[in-house]
Structure 1
Amino acid sequence: MDLDNYILSHIDTEPEYLYRLWRATNIYMLHGRMASGHLQGRLLKMLVRMIRPKNILEVGTFSGYSALCMAEGLDDGGKVYTFEINDEQEDFTRPWIENSPVADKIEFIIGDAITEAPKLGIAFDMAFIDGDKRTYVETYEMVLSLLNPGGFILADNTLWDGHVTDPAYDNDHQTQGIRRFNDHVAQDDRVEKVILPLRDGLTLIRKK
């Protein structure tokens, strides 16, 4: 915890709007810890600054924290298209997105990204996968098909609280989904990949 606090005190501060969103997420939502938070949020913004994508695809909006962070890093004219499959999420998330300073850079869509994102007819330069762990492989294949060569995919939760190496979780469907995804990407010669042990595991993938 001391190290975590040290890191947070030596990076860019969390914008006040995002801090309020993070607090509201943890107060009002069942799985509030799923929100990216200060460190990962600043990393997402930094990666967008580095990659300079025109269009970003996000699978799994949740409370909107990560979408706002990525939108912060976009150049003028850039757009985040973020999909949330749980329509019960909309009443909480949509006002936070629409009232944010980067609202014009975010398209919030309720629906299954696996079937709906291809219908947009958009080629993406970057994607953030943070949806249903049980369908990570299917989501990955969909995203890869829409990604420009040289584009990047970020996949969240790929260490899954360490459960990926714990036999006690062999029968857990979400753990199985993450393991299947990690194995699939590791063997995929269409991409370059590296896993960062940040928070719950973040895999960076580059399409060749």
Structure 2
Amino acid sequence: MSFFEEQCPEMDRYLGNHTSGEPEILKRLRKETFQKTTQPHMISGYQQGRLLAILSKMSRPKNILEIGTFTGYATLCLAEGLDREGKITTLDVNEELAYLPKKYFAESEFSGQIDFQLKDANDFLEETAEFFDFVFIDADKENYMTYFNLIKPHVKSGAVILFDNVLWYGKVLEENPKKKATQIIKELNEAVTKDTDFENLILPLRDGLHLIRKK
């Protein structure tokens, strides 16, 4: 949930009313996510989804990696900007929920460009020899630093990396956080900022998006 959703619903409605329309397939997916999952808040929101689509369209990536599929909403947003010969590999470990993204991937115009794998992201990154020009990470927060370190050898100059939930409901402002997830997110934000191979900006959209570009 964003600051505006919680503190200023009128502003959130204004922002929503002045954002490009949501494709019909995403409307149906979002509705079914709220009907059939126990943690529907994990879905990328409407506004965040449009941001992902626009960033993807601006960069026209040929090879996208997504870590954390959930129900596939962000996957379909990112696929909107794929190069005509491009593909998106999306990874998750939730076998029970896999039927839902598979259903919508098959229905979408990008069905032939989506490679959905039920696989641990650490194993995938250690095994793959691929390079990615767009990476979106929205998965287990305690592995964020591990993902960043494993991704580095798989991106070239100009590649975009996005980490979701990097404001962690404001918990990143805690000086000595007790929870490991908060500690790791703070560590990631600091490490990215200090890494001279990258340029970065944290966007305060919803729960915070860390936008990173390889120099």
TM-score category (smaller protein): over 0.9
Query: Runs in 1 of length 4+ with deviation above 2 angstroms?
Result: 85-89, 117-121
Normalised to the residue count of structure 1, the TM-score between the two structures is: 0.94
Indicate yes or no: 2:170 matched with 1:165.
no
Q: CA deviation at 1:118?
A: 4.5
Indicate yes or no: 2:94 matched with 1:86.
yes
Give 1:49-198 correspondences, 5 Å limit.
49-166=57-174, 170-198=177-205
Indicate yes or no: 2:31 matched with 1:44.
no
- 8 Å contact kept, 1:14–1:42: yes
Structure 2 unpaired stretches of 5+: 1-8
Amino acid at match of 1:73: G
Aligned to 2:5: none
| Identity level (%) | 42
SS at the partner of 1:148? coil
Aligned to 1:14: 22
Amino acid at match of 1:125: D
Deviation sequence 1:142-189 (CA, Å, 0-9, x none): 11211122211011110011111136x822222122112112212211
Partners of 1:151 and 1:29 lie apart in 2 by 33
- 8 Å contact kept, 2:166–2:207: yes
Q: CA deviation at 1:6?
A: 1.1
Question: Aligned pair count?
Answer: 207
Aligned to 1:29: 37
Partners of 2:197 and 2:56 lie apart in 1 by 22
Partners of 1:30 and 1:148 lie apart in 2 by 38
Partners of 1:201 and 1:181 lie apart in 2 by 13
Deviation sequence 1:71-124 (CA, Å, 0-9, x none): 012121111111112223212222122222221121101111121134343211
- 8 Å contact kept, 2:132–2:154: yes
Partners of 1:9 and 1:102 lie apart in 2 by 27
- 8 Å contact kept, 1:86–1:111: no
Partners of 1:59 and 1:124 lie apart in 2 by 12
Amino acid at match of 2:42: M
- 55-64 or 181-190, larger mean C-alpha shift: 181-190
Deviation sequence 1:173-208 (CA, Å, 0-9, x none): 221221121122122111111101010000111112
Compared CA separation, residues 117 and 89, structure 1 to 2 (3 A): farther
Amino acid at match of 2:55: L
Amino acid at match of 1:170: P
Partners of 1:80 and 1:15 lie apart in 2 by 19
Aligned to 2:6: none
Structure 1 unpaired stretches of 5+: none
